[in-house]
Structure 1
Amino acid sequence: MEMRRSKKAKVKRRYLQPQPSPPLHSMLPKISKCFSFTASRDWVYRQLFAAAGLRSVATELGEGTTMHCWVPKMHKGSKPSLVLVHGFGANAMWQYGEHIRQLMGHFNVYVPDLIFFGESFTTRPERSESFQAECLVKMMEAHGVHRMSLVGISYGGFVGYRVASRFPHLVDKIVLCCAGVCLEEVDMHNGLFRVSSLDDASRILVPQTPDKLRELINLSFVRPVRGVPSWFLQDFIHVMCTVHIQEKRQLLEAILKGRHLSDLPTIQQPTLILWGEQDQVFPLELGHRLKRHIGENAKMIVIKNAGHAVNLEKPKEFSKHLKAFLIDSTKSCPTSPLASGEDTHF
């Protein structure tokens, strides 16, 4: 018995050694095949907008056109209406998500997706910003809104400007953020832009490869995030940039082909021009040109250490200037920077 125990005691047991887990960064590309970070972020924005008091509504405008918009769950007659118009890139939620709560307390906020963005589309052939403006006005009228202020970022500023010029009775105030409304076709040939042709611009602004999306990020931010893996960028492209590719490129073509400053009408509404000092998409010169074109009704603020995506890169400054112009400007004294009509640098 003792012998058996001693023999048993000498038996060597072999245990499987635990294998080290692979590093997380090597697993993420596999995870992304069944889990989209971009789609998850989009879902978070939807919850944020809903929690802020907005609901998602698609409005049929007729003739094959549908426009989606986030609208107030309850429109309050005591509040003015504010329309936030997005630019190229992700849908409207991504561009205004940082600012929505700060504005909801003061306005009935409407956040539309322009045609061929988000859930908005048309079967009609028009691609001009004037057509976008018509659709936006029809959609707002369908919601019973006949007076509003507008904020337009980049391409959204082109559309907002057309609303203000064609439907002046509808617009109280307008904010144009990094919107190259005063560009001319000749500017492309004269080297004002970092790209040399419309084709180059469309490949960057409607990116289909990680390299082109990375180039867009580098042009849009003063301090872009470095080292973003290609699979992450491809996920964003798959979710945000693979629908209506040709139509979006046609929108870009429509704003540049045959464009002359002399054809651009002026607007009479009080206007705030916001610009990133180091904007590489629409250089600062276009902001000064816009200020001269509108005249004394326009006030210009240049935000330092910011690029084209100033709403994302400097969200606090962006919100502060929106609030000062849209809410507090009536209380400003005549000598304040916002009331003087002069350029102000922050």
Structure 2
Amino acid sequence: MIISHDVAGPAGAPAVVLLHSTVCDRRMWEPQWQPLAGAGFRVVRADFRSCGESPAGTEPYSDEGDVLALMDHLGLERAALVGASYGGRVALRVAALRPARVPALALLCAGRPGHVPGPELAAFGAEEDALLEAGDLDGAVALNVRTWLGPSASASVRALVAGMQRELFESSADAPDVELPEPELDLSAVTARTLAVSGGHDLADFRTIAAELPRLLPDARHIALPWAGHLPSLERPEEVTALLRDFLTG
């Protein structure tokens, strides 16, 4: 299956693939994808399965396999990957499995393969599970908006994230229970030039992951955004678009 996606920018230009947080879908990149295309990149934004317009999986699959299949489908031999949260975790897996195909990684408050949740993330997960088990969808949506957006997020962004999260909860409730295998991998295999971004208002887990990536990857640097929560590309979109553009142009 080829996951749902949009493409913008000149054919043959350096490719960039935008991978969303699982609080959201590919609409989270609305502020970035056209400006990056205008900066001379071939930009792809995609929905993981069960998110946005991509259907749920019906048999075991991997999100990194879906990303590589999409790149093949579009004829992209190489592409920089920009990943937010879970999308960053997927980007790291793609870059470790197929290093020659990923020249650059921009990781915004990313997850990391093998990371064991700390107390803050575990407490969030337990509270979300309890709300969903009680059938309190409104409460679960509000918890996610409160947890993942920092103080710079506008009311319209909070409404957008709430809508995307609600749709994800609703689609996941009807989706079959399918295994997503995630074998261990060696992050030292990553050769991509990497930017790891953390947010000062994010959970400690994601601040720690971003800070430790320069010790785990051969060519990585960390930037802390003191104003940001977990989704800085939505919270201050123009600032993050400029940051990504400058990094991708190298």
Query: Which is greater in Rg?
Result: 1
Of 263, 270, 274, the residue aligned with 2:193 is 270
Q: Deviations over 1:139-196 (max 9, x none)?
A: 21112111111100100001111111111121111111101216533x44xx2x2433
CA distance in 2, matches of 1:208, 1:291: 40
Letter in 2 for 1:303: L
Instruction: Say which SS state the counterpart of residue 48 (structure 2) adopts.
Output: coil
Who is 1:52 aligned against? none
* Residue number among 237, 241, 248 corresponding to 2:169 in the alignment: 241
* Equivalent position of 1:211 in the other structure: 139
**Aligned partners of 1:202 and 1:249 also within 8 Å:** no
Q: Structure 1, unaligned stretches of length 5 or more? A: 1-64, 330-346
The change in CA–CA distance for 1:84 and 1:203 in structure 2 (over 3 A counts) is farther
Matched, 1:82 2:16: yes
- Structure 1's 254 and 82: CA in aligned 2 closer, same or farther, altered over 3 A? same
Structure 1 pair 283–145 and aligned structure 2 pair: CA distance change class (3 A)? closer
Structure 1 position 116, deviation (Å): 1.8
State the alpha-carbon separation in 2 of the partners of residues 146 and 204 from structure 1.
43
Corresponding position of 1:60: none
Structure 1 position 219, deviation (Å)? 1.1
Cα distance in 1 for partners of 2:212, 2:204 equals 15
Aligned equivalents of 2:25, 2:194: Cα separation in 1: 25
The residue number in structure 2 matching 1:162 is 93
2:207 is aligned with 1:284:
yes
Identity of matched residues, %: 23
- Whether contact under 8 Å (2:17, 2:80) holds in the other structure is yes
**Cα gap change, 1:210 to 1:250, in 2 (>3 Å):** farther
Q: Which residue of 2 aligns with 1:319?
A: 241
What one-letter code is carried by the residue in structure 1 that aligns with 2:47? D
- Per-residue deviation at 1:102? 1.4
Q: Report deviation, 1:239.
A: 3.9
Alpha-carbon distance in 2 for matches of 1:320, 1:227: 22
Aligned equivalents of 2:164, 2:136: Cα separation in 1: 10
CA distance in 2, matches of 1:284, 1:248: 33
The corresponding residue for 1:123 is: 58
Query: For the residues of structure 1 that align with 2:147 and 2:85, how far apart are their CA atoms?
Result: 13
Q: Distance in 2 between matches of 1:221 and 1:98?
A: 16
Task: Give the distance between the partners of 2:59 and 2:239, measured in 1 at CA.
Answer: 39
Partner in structure 2 of residue 100 of structure 1: 33
- CA 1:244–1:222: 2 relative to 1, 3 Å: closer
CA drift at 1:313: 1.2
1:7 is matched with: none
Structure 1 residue 143 corresponds to structure 2 residue 70: no
Deviation string, structure 1 residues 2-24 (Cα, Å, up to 9, x no partner): xxxxxxxxxxxxxxxxxxxxxxx
Alpha-carbon distance between aligned partners in 1 of 2:92 and 2:113, rounded to the nearest angstrom: 11
Unpaired runs of 5+ residues, structure 2, are none
Task: Give 1:97 deviation, angstroms.
Answer: 0.6
Does 1:71 pair with 2:4? no
What do the CA deviations read for 1:219-274 (whole angstroms, capped 9, x no partner)?
Answer: 1123277999xx999866654431123759978x977xxx98xx542211100111
Rounded to whole Å, the distance in 1 between the matches of 2:241 and 2:176 is 28
Q: How far is the alpha carbon of 1:214 from its aligned partner?
A: 1.3
Secondary structure at the counterpart of residue 171 of structure 2: coil
Among 208, 211, 217, the alignment partner of 1:294 is: 217
Q: Contact 1:204–1:216 (CA<8 Å) still a contact in 2?
A: no
Aligned pairs, number: 244
Give the distance between the partners of 2:161 and 2:79, measured in 1 at CA.
36
TM-score (norm 1): 0.61
Q: Does 1:303 align with 2:225?
A: yes
Q: Hey, what's the Cα distance between the residues in 2 that align with 1:85 and 1:273?
A: 15
